[in-house]
Structure 1
Amino acid sequence: MMKTKDAFVPGLEGVIASETGISLLDTELEKIIIRGYDLIDLSTRKTYTDVVYLLLEGTLPSKAERQALEEKLKGNYQLPATIMDVLKLLPKETHPMDGQRTAISALAGFDLALDDRSLEANKHRAYDLLGKLPAVTVNSYRIINNENPIDPDPLLPYSSNFLYMITGEKPTELEAEIFDRLLLLYSEHEMPNSTFTSRVIASTQSDMYGALTGAVASLKGSLHGGANEAVMCMLNEAGSVDQFVTLLEDKMQRKEKIMGFGHRVYMKKMDPRAAIMKESLKQLCERKGDSQLLDMCEAGETVMAQEKGLYPNLDYYAAPVYWMLGIPIPLYTPIFFSSRTAGLCAHIIEQHENNRLFRPRVKYIGERNL
């Protein structure tokens, strides 16, 4: 339907807000295009750091370029001591995402070239932020929970180190592979609310830290990144296949929104990323010799498709994968943000390179002539 200039579109659904060369959700072909490549195909052949390079540099890296990127990220692992002090001052009731948001905002003070919006400067700070995010994400959670911070292990690859910092144990090859795949699948997804938020902030010529701080606040919401936590809470509350089906049916009867199902873009099909995570969950269940979580998820998937015509999004199968990897539920969304930072930085850079200030109008429904 053609939209007129003054048409009101709730939630901006279907409205084209930006031109981009970064990514596209092609729902007809069931593909997520990242700089010309199919994200699902990339998830079977490449690593998260490959996709980081693709997002920020525009091409897939050679072996030497990948190794150089890993070393660059490792060189940025450590947080300034002042950031750790800031995290220690936060109330113990602070949500880990608020700790994450606070640390990212505070890091701006350490950037001596903060007002430099050049491509080179923005890429430099993107790599610096990506290197520090595992320590920001994990240690904000640990400090809030009165646990000692964990230092990064520079001998481990980026994703393996991230998972090691979360669990305190070096991951197995399968665990590292699945966690890396999870980061890759969350890395970029066109124009969800958090990405739009980051671009709106960047359009004022605000800095990358400010744009990412706004994106964290957006992603914290239960209708965005917080859905993965809600899914795992439902699974734990139910505890069995029959109880999970009953829980879902009760929620449907009360007309409650059920997290992990449906997507503003994937309306009539399963999120293709969810299918990849479903297979990863199978692998973890087989390794553990316990298929209960997989059985529960598959039963829920069937019920929701039959009763509501809704299909799983990435959060639905990512949540039990996080759980099987030994990751605490409050860290699910902060990890989501950490992986998405690669895509967010690419969007912020693109906005700065070809900028136009966002300034929409409103449909006024208030009083006049009072």
Structure 2
Amino acid sequence: MSEAYRPGLENVIACETEISFLDVDHEEIVLRGYDLIDLAKKVSYIDIIGLLIDKRLPNDEERREIERALKSHGQVPLNIWAILKQLPPTTHPMDMLRTGVSALSGFDPNLDDPSPAANRERALRLLAQVPQIVAASHHIAHGGDPIPPKEELSFVANGLYMITGREPSSDEVKYFDQVLMVYCEHELPNSTFAARVITSTLSDMYGALTGAVASLKGPLHGGANEAVMEMLLEAETVEGFERLIREKLAHKEKIMGFGHRVYMRKMDPRAQMMKEALQQMAGSNPEAKKWLDMCVAGETIMREEKGLYPNLDYYAAPVMYMLGIPVPLFTPVFFAARVVGLSAHVMEQLANNRIFRPRVLYNGPRGLKA
């Protein structure tokens, strides 16, 4: 074979898409023609759902219709809770989530219908029910019951309420909405590629998203936000965080929250947005100010010592922590936000499908005889 082998498929074009593109040169994350960071400052996560699923930003009535549709799909089958309660309480929330997403397929009466209309409905069902599974995984593991959504709360507000058990303030809803937007879609990371590969066999959307959960659980993909917060909590102070990072560097340990396969010489634009959100929180909250000062100190060391810049997870971690989200739920929340992007990729793959079947560069023995 004459084709060059590229470990990790680095810089290999795997598909054509109209969904998103990481334009590193112009520091833009393009979502169907829009700059994600610009969108995140002007619209809501509900608008992003319309953009990614319906290929256009919704008008006021369409936005209300999306909210209504999400509420109409909000009843998670009770048997899902029964299944999750059978798992050991030590089960990681990502494993509970993987089980829950897979089990949802059995409750879809139109599972064998792969039409665009059926998959749009499926995407909305998953968008409505995955956040409930995420929240329930925490409560069930601690001996409690799932907190159902409140009819009077918005979709985004309910997402936070079902985790914390208290109605969020308008500022908290705003920051959580931003978290969901910055995690909503990011071209072709491992989990999205996994979903497209599974879809290419004509498997269903639940199977594709189950594979994406499994991929996202891996510490080289998801999980960095949890690791960042654990470092901050361990260090406690600016001086402690500086000392911890320098010790890890001296032992050649990987510092989670820094570096990215695509953003190698610049800060992830989403990280800058989360940094700004943390700065706003810090204006009125001493705890947020502490996390901000620690993160800025760590960012300075990594830039000066290693030439590395923060990725999204570095500043998203303390933002989520300040919203009252338990650290083990950071990656599940990431996935709940990404359901919309994954669903869009599943539908796009089906619209112009060819099964993925790459080849290998064989370097084993030849000519052996039994």
Give me the TM-score of the superposition, normalised by structure 1.
0.98
- 1:324 partner letter: M
Deviating above 4 A after TM superposition, structure 1's stretches of 4 or more consecutive aligned residues are none
Q: Does residue 40 of structure 2 align to residue 48 of structure 1? A: no
Structure 1 residue matching 2:356: 3-state secondary structure:
coil
Task: State which drifts further: 357-366 or 263-272.
Answer: 357-366
Structure 1 partner of 2:211: 214
CA offset at residue 214 of structure 1? 0.2
Task: Note the 1:346-365 alignment, pairs <5 A.
Answer: 346-365=344-363
1:224 matches 2:224: no
Following TM superposition, by how much is the alpha carbon of 1:282 offset from its aligned partner in structure 2, in angstroms?
1.2
Report the AA paired with residue 351 of structure 1.
Answer: Q
Distance 1:39 1:148 in 2: 36
Does the 8 A contact of 1:78 with 1:135 survive in 2? no
Unpaired segments of 5 or more residues in structure 1? none
Structure 1 residue 100 corresponds to structure 2 residue 134: no
Query: CA offset at residue 275 of structure 1?
Result: 0.5
Q: Take 2:38 and 2:239, find their aligned partners in 1: how far apart are those partners?
A: 35
From 291, 294, 297, the counterpart of 2:295: 297
2:244 to 240, 243, 247: 247
Cα distance in 1 between the residues matched to 2:306 and 2:366: 43
> In the alignment, what sits opposite 1:37?
34
For 2:274 and 2:91, how far apart are their aligned partners in 1? 30
CA distance, structure 1, for counterparts of residue 93 and residue 260 of structure 2: 25
User: Equivalences for 1:124-203 in 2 at 5 Å?
Assistant: 124-203=121-200
Q: Distance in 1 between matches of 2:2 and 2:298?
A: 42
SS in 1 for 2:362: coil
What is the aligned partner in structure 2 of residue 234 from structure 1?
231
- Whole-Å separation in 1 of the counterparts to 2:301 and 2:254: 15
Q: List aligned pairs for 1:69-108, cutoff 5 A.
A: 69-108=66-105
- The 1-side partners of 2:284 and 2:111 are apart by 47
Equivalent residue, structure 2, for 1:331:
329
Distance 2:172 2:366 in 1: 61
Instruction: Tell me the distance in 1 between the aligned counterparts of 2:2 and 2:261.
Output: 23
The CA deviation string for residues 97-131 of structure 1, in whole angstroms up to 9 with x for no partner, is 11011011001011121121111111010001101
Q: Does 1:115 align with 2:112?
A: yes
Q: What's the RMSD between the two structures over aligned residues?
A: 0.9
> In the TM superposition, what whole-angstrom CA distance separates every residue of 1:242-294 from its partner, at most 9, and x where no partner exists?
11111111111111111100000001000000001001111222222341100
Cα distance in structure 2, aligned partners of 1:255 and 1:32:
31
Q: Which moved more, 1:16-25 or 1:165-174?
A: 165-174
Whole-angstrom distance in 1 between the partners of 2:322 and 2:31:
28
Counterpart amino acid of residue 234 in structure 2: E
Moved more, 261-270 or 108-117: 108-117
Distance (Å, rounded) in 2 between the aligned partners of 1:107 and 1:276:
34
DSSP-derived class of the 1:8 partner: coil
Once the two structures are TM-superposed, the CA of residue 43 in structure 1 deviates from its matched residue by: 0.5
- TM-score, reference length from structure 2: 0.98
Counterpart in the other structure of 2:17: 20
Q: Which amino acid aligns with 2:20?
A: S
Deviations 1:324-348 (A, max 9, x none): 1111000000000000000000000
- Alignment partner of 1:45: what SS? coil
Query: What is the SS of the residue equivalent to 1:356?
Result: coil
Find the residue that maps to 1:287 and give its secondary structure.
coil
Letter in 2 for 1:60: L
CA distance in 1, matches of 2:308, 2:365: 40
Q: Which one of 256, 264, 269 corresponds to residue 259 of structure 1?
A: 256
**Cα 1:288–1:82 shift into 2, 3 Å:** same
C-alpha deviation, 1:148, in angstroms = 2.2
The residue number in structure 2 matching 1:58 is 55
Displacement of 1:5 = 4.9
CA distance in 1 between counterparts of 2:3 and 2:215 reads 27
User: 1:48–1:184: 8 Å Cα contact kept in structure 2?
Assistant: yes
Paired residues, what number?
Answer: 367
- For 2:151 and 2:62, the matched residues in 1 are separated by 18
**SS at the partner of 2:283?**
helix
Give the AA of the match of 1:196.
F
The one-letter code matched in structure 2 to 1:17 is: A
Measure, in 1, the Cα distance between the counterparts of 2:117 and 2:254.
44
Provide the secondary structure at the position in 2 that maps to 1:112: coil
The percent of aligned pairs where both chains have the same amino acid is 57
- The letter of the residue matching 2:319 is V
8 Å CA contact 1:274–1:312 kept in 2: the answer is yes
Amino acid at match of 1:327: I
Q: Secondary structure at the match of 2:150?
A: coil
After superposition, what is the alpha-carbon deviation per residue over 1:191-246, rounded to whole angstroms, capped at 9, x for unaligned?
00000000000000000000000000000111111100000000011111111111
Q: SS state of the match for residue 358, structure 1?
A: coil
Cα distance in structure 1, aligned partners of 2:344 and 2:107: 21
- Structure 2 portions without partners, runs of 5+: none
